[in-house]
Chains A and B, each alone.
Chain A
Amino acid sequence: MVGLSGVLIKSIKGEIMKKITLALTAMAVLGSVGVAKTLKVGLASGAYTMDPQAFNETATNSILSNIFDPLVRFDENIKVHADLAESWTNPEPKVWILKLRKGVKFHNGNALTADDVLFSFDRIKNWKKSGFKGKVSMIESVEKVDDFTVKFTTKKAFPVFLRKLTYVNIMDKETNEGKSDEWIGLNPMGTGPYKFVLWRKGDQIKLKANTDYWAGTSTYDDLILRVLSNNATRTAAILSGEVDIVNRVPVVDVARVKSNDKLNFFIKPGLRLIYLQMDQFRDKSPYVKTSDGRNPFMDVRVRRAMYYGINEDAIIKFIMKGFAAPASQFHPDVVVGHDPDIKRVKYDPAKAKALLAEAGYPNGFEVTLDAPNNRYINDAQIAQAIASSLAKIGVKVKVSAVPKSSFFPKTAKQETSFFLIGWASSDGDGSSMLDGVIHSKDDTKGYGRYNNGKYTNVKVDKLIEESDANMNPEERVKQMKEAQRIGIVEDQNIIPLHYQVDIYASSKNIKFTPRTDSKIWAFDIK
């Protein structure tokens, strides 16, 4: 009896088990055969290479950030967060010890270890064609402490070190060692949320979700990044739904995007300052014509007159259609070193004229304003509008807006008296602009590489150099603020115009948070 019931129970159990197994299997199969979600992105420019250490350029960096991870990463407000390095210490001013996250795998299954980190840093240092040398030049040595610990020693105390680390993407030593540059430029092997599928240069990049990503799974299985560099084309694509999200919506198309009820519209103040530099080192400047033959920009009153004489509000309103933030200083508010007490002056053509007269130019003068026409948002239009403003205070401006390939070499050779240019403090730290633009030109120490107006003030130089080595955050910021105050308020060494604002549009089906560093990081898009 018992035996029979035992068998009966067993068989019933078996039946039930069978049914349950069948049901579970069915659910598993159905679950995995879900519809693959694809995200189509329309980008204003494509990548130049798949090698994350070749070209330090926003579009390329943005695209590759989906494939690679750095040791530490910026969040959408450029604050440093742990990434492949889960923790770090700074036991001495010049020493940084980072502990790597365990269990992270490259897309080919290789485990991430300190060897890969060393390889990545060494490659940048030794590869002549790397555009990231500036991000590692402060490093004296990189040592492996153990498989998951790396020790960095900097040449001097370097307070901004972690910010620089966000630029170094970690590559797989085993895959890349010994390979040619061309090969590496076509075969990215990273640890990031997406794997490389294909790249049609100038057309599109296809990526596939990395299901083993250490931070979780991305919402989208497939990522198609399309290059739509023509403004009108890009707008047309988002309006027609051919893509789900676009960056760099042209300011004139914002109204159309906003009125489209299938689209969401985002703005995010960016890091790029658009400003004017003036020739401040020559007594006779080649592209200025004055009644007395001297260079008017040597006089601070003339420089101030320019500041008061440009109707920046009108430029923001009519040329940028409101999508720019008026600038009063070198850094926007998210950047370390920003001084909330420095405010922009109001447009005052009468005062500008008075200043000019005081300086000895009651009838103004003639000058050429050089600008690029394919580098910054509406650059040529802004230059024209500036010329139009200055004409009203008696300064006759001739605008020379040329492609960047002609423009930048011109400024580097100081073949200009007055030019429009931009600067993005992409580290999120004011030292970037202070070192590169404000400090006087000093090729041996590597300062002032972009100080093509050759502004010089020894006090400012000293403050900048001190702040670069000061590990005390509060003191440092004070020094940076003081350097800025002397430069802008006392010396008027540049004419700040505005900060560019990033404009995005996306389909209402997507949840997207724009980033200050202008990158589109698909992992965060839901």
Chain B
Amino acid sequence: MIMKWFKNELLVEFFEDKMAVIGLVIFALLGILALAPSIFTYQNPYDLTQLFLENSFQAPNPNFILGTDEQGRDIYSAMLYGLRISLYVGLASTILSVIIGYTLGLISGYYGGWVDTIIMRIADIQLSFPAILIALIIMALWGEGVGKIIIAITVVNWVYYARTARGVVLSEKEKDYAQSARALGMSNFGIIFGEILPNTTAPIIVIATVRIANAIILEATLSFLGLGVPITEPSLGSLIANGYQVLFSGYWWASVFPGVLLMVLIISINLIGDRMRDIMNPRLKR
């Protein structure tokens, strides 16, 4: 079974492109770092007993290999923990958006009628709004917190999945296999999740990979504007924001290193996403 999966045509094609593989490797590396940062770091930046003001704004040195911020937080350690938060927010909000958006989209497309109208109207209205504004208002008025940011980003992003899912369902439900399933007396639920869903995962995966990157950027931007995660548990975005304030005073390490890491993370995700999109795009098949 597993071997069959590995020999899957798509996977083979994926690995053909060197850049994509590099992206995958980097992402996997970052993922490992993020899963258990305590193994790789020598300071827990969230533990206030480990922070000493006397270490404030030290340039990179043997004690703190990438320098410290103004609270004496080790930038290297903070980066890895921040990476975890950024990844967590990106993945969690994407998964939630996919589940919610996809389900709503499936229901909307399959059942049609007023359910469809309502859901799509809401989606339309939301799409009439630049995403960042919605998230901005939610965060500015609701306060800070990782949970809240995830919800804010989910609220912004579910529409994309809903729209796509609905479009796919609309075209799939008239197809032969779906008709025959209905003729055979299968329940609607069974049809939706048993038959149609598996045939539609490809575009969703593609969109999701792109949107994970977007979600991470959105969180970073919100944190940059001061509306993101709490300051004692900084994400990469808030580290960059804090560092930006002091960037021109010469304390460059506080902003540059987290910034580079964020860039690397997003580029790796995009490399993977790019390749997946190229191989799954039927119109690019020769």
Contact = CB atoms under 8 A, between A and B. Distances in A.
Q: Do A and B come together as binding partners?
A: yes
Interface of A: 231-232, 235-236, 250, 252-253, 255-256, 311, 314-315, 317-319, 373-374, 380-381, 384-385, 387-388, 391-392, 396-403, 405-406
The 8 closest A-B pairs by CB, nearest first: A391-B48, A318-B56, A314-B53, A318-B53, A252-B249, A252-B246, A391-B49, A388-B48
B71 A381 contact: yes
B248 interface: yes
A373 B245 contact: no
Contact of A232 (B72, B143, B245): B245
Interface in B198-219: none
Given A232-B248, A403-B140, A373 B49 contact: no
B232 A399 contact: yes
A374 B232 contact: no
Interface in B8-57: 47-49, 51-54, 56-57
Contact of A235 (B47, B49, B52, B248): B248
B249 A314 contact: no
A25 to B, nearest CB: 52
B96 to A, nearest CB: 24
Given A385-B53, A387-B48, A388-B71, A401 B231 contact: yes
B232 A384 contact: yes
Given A400-B230, A402-B144, A405-B140, A319 B53 contact: yes
DSSP majority for the B interface? loop
Nearest to B140: A403
26 contacts: A236-B248, A250-B249, A253-B248, A255-B249, A256-B249, A311-B53, A317-B53, A318-B54, A318-B56, A318-B57, A318-B70, A319-B53, A373-B226, A380-B231, A384-B48, A385-B53, A388-B49, A388-B51, A388-B52, A388-B53, A399-B231, A401-B230, A402-B144, A403-B140, A403-B226, A403-B227
A380 B69 CA distance: 14
Contacts of A373: 226, 231
Contacts of A384: 48, 71, 231-232
Nearest to A392: B49
Nearest to B227: A403
B244 A398 contact: no
A265 to B, nearest CB: 14
A224 to B, nearest CB: 23
A314 B140 contact: no
A385 B249 contact: no
B185 interface: no
Contacts of A256: 248-250
